[in-house]
Amino acid sequence: MFDLGALFAGLEMVFSWEALLYIFLGMAVGILVGAIPGLTASTGMALLVPITFGMSPVNALVFLGSVYAGANYGGSITAIFLNTPGTPAATITAFDGYPMRARGEANRALGLSLGSSVFGGAISYLAMFVIMYPLAAFAIRFGSPELFLLAVLGLMIIASLKGEKEGGFWKGIIVGVFGILLGTVGIATTGAERGAFGYPYLLDGIPLIPALIGFLAFSELMVMVSTKDHGEKINAKQTTKMVWKGVWETLKYPFTLVYTSIIGLIVGALPAAGATIANFISYNEAKKYSRNPEMFGKGAPEGLIASGGADNASTGGAMTTMLALGIPGSESTALMMGAMTLHGLTPGPKLFIEQLDLTYAIIFGLLIAQVFMLFLAVYSGNMFAKIVNLPITILVPCVAIFCVVGSYAVRNTLFDVFFMMACGLIGYLMKKNDYPVIGVVLGLVLGPMADREFILTSIRYKEDYSIFFTRPISIGILVLIALTVIYPLLQKMWNKRKLANTWVPVEELEQSAKTGENI
């Protein structure tokens, strides 16, 4: 099951002073990025991918992985202190963190959130260590029809998950198609030129990193500036002793911790699901099994543990899908994929055959990152609070320079910078009109994969498309695709029926009509 040689080689890679330094720096930057409202894990990673050019692949990936994990925790700092989640996933943390802070227990809340994040992360990376090799061994049997269907599955999930808002399903489809369109620009597998106008800068395809910087980071800057949301300031002081107490308190709820971490791991592994959905599900589950469900939303420790554990555990799930199958589970893992490609690595089962030691090194690196997170967050909390208080007037120009430098650094051409700006403007318009940017991002990453594998299937099987319905794994993936389409519809029908069957006493209805309160 484990290749001991590769395992020790991986340990050797990650226990170099350079790798440890990058893990530490990545974690520090990640916590900061996550704590600044408006900057998410993916925004931070988009800005930081270009600075990994000079690093070795291991250092680059553990650095970005640490940023990813750190940002997921960082979001909870402002959620607790200001009731303003630093990242969308930290919304749930604010439910119980802020009431706790209002009771004067901010440090306890911070400790609970930190402890659950660290344990959730550790559980998910240990699970990743156990699951990943068998998963990759299974995935190695995938041929081009299966890989094509896997890419389609990733794209279908975008549409089904974004169907909550009005017109969300179609918005998801539209932006997904747009992403695929952009992703297939350049010279195709057949050698034909597509959508490039013969322009040399586009023949290699759309520059992925500048596009991601534009869609994720530059567009966010525009939103920050146009909303003029200069935010509140963190005034509270962090007490190390109290935070430690909160961390240890986490262990008093082992069931909630393990249970919600497993939910985070599983939901995180689903393409396009991510930490936010994992948090919502685990919070609801924790409330269901709690002895004090009435305390949820009023400062329940279990509520904080559920969100913190699931939040960080989802990173392990998303990384597993990305590394073993080559399918990004979130915007952040799409960026990790981009970074891996830049360093000459191809995520997917082949990575396990060719560079198993590197895969182990990434997992160990992420486990070490959890330890660094614990100490960094406890002992540098006050420093982070000061930096988070940096005014937007200073932050925005600095991040804009990062966007420009990052886009330029990939191919040393200003064309990429202009392209990044164009993507930023499109991303901004999309955000303003509630179009999910993740659709374009996943379309950009999965589109070329779907395109390549479809062409290869056509060539290999002489345009006999019945191959998709005759191979057992293909059929399995087709069933999953069908489920992703049917499940939201069934859920909608089920909810409607449940609502219709809800019996409300006439007295209650009359009372509600008088007071105007919802039942």
Interface ranges with other proteins (CB under 8 A): 50-51, 53-55, 167, 174-175, 177-178, 181, 185, 192-199, 202, 221-222, 225-226, 228, 392-394, 396-398, 400-401, 403-405, 408-409, 412, 414, 417-418, 421, 425, 428-430, 433, 435
Q: How far is the CB of 225 from other proteins (least distance, A)?
A: 4
- Based on CB atoms, which residue is closest to other proteins, 47 or 313? 47
Q: How far is the CB of 346 from other proteins (least distance, A)?
A: 23
Q: How far is the CB of 250 from other proteins (least distance, A)?
A: 36
- Based on CB atoms, which residue is closest to other proteins, 114 or 221? 221
- Based on CB atoms, which residue is closest to other proteins, 177 or 456? 177
> Angle 229-396-441 (CA atoms, 0-180°, nearest 5)?
90
131 to 2, 122, 269, 362: CA distances (angstroms): 11, 14, 12, 14
Q: How far is the CB of 428 from other proteins (least distance, A)?
A: 7
The Cα 318–Cα 321 span in angstroms is 5
- Based on CB atoms, which residue is closest to other proteins, 94 or 202? 202
388: which 2 tokens?
């988070």
DSSP string, 288-300: HH-S-GGGTTS--
**Do 229 and 38 touch, CB atoms closer than 8 A?**
yes
326: which 2 tokens?
């080559």
Q: How far is the CB of 444 from other proteins (least distance, A)?
A: 13
DSSP string, 31-68: HHHHHSTT--HHHHHHHHGGGGTTS-HHHHHHHHHHHH
115 to 15, 112, 384: CA distances (angstroms): 24, 5, 18
- Our measurement of the distance from residue 35's CA atom to the centroid of its chain's CA atoms, rounded to an integer in Å, reads 16
- Based on CB atoms, which residue is closest to other proteins, 136 or 185? 185
The Cα 464–Cα 457 span in angstroms is 9
**Three-state SS at 186:** strand
- Based on CB atoms, which residue is closest to other proteins, 182 or 327? 182
- Based on CB atoms, which residue is closest to other proteins, 222 or 310? 222
Q: How far is the CB of 215 from other proteins (least distance, A)?
A: 14
Q: How far is the CB of 414 from other proteins (least distance, A)?
A: 6
206: which 2 tokens?
């759309």
Q: How far is the CB of 83 from other proteins (least distance, A)?
A: 24
- Based on CB atoms, which residue is closest to other proteins, 46 or 132? 46
**Do 398 and 217 touch, CB atoms closer than 8 A?**
no
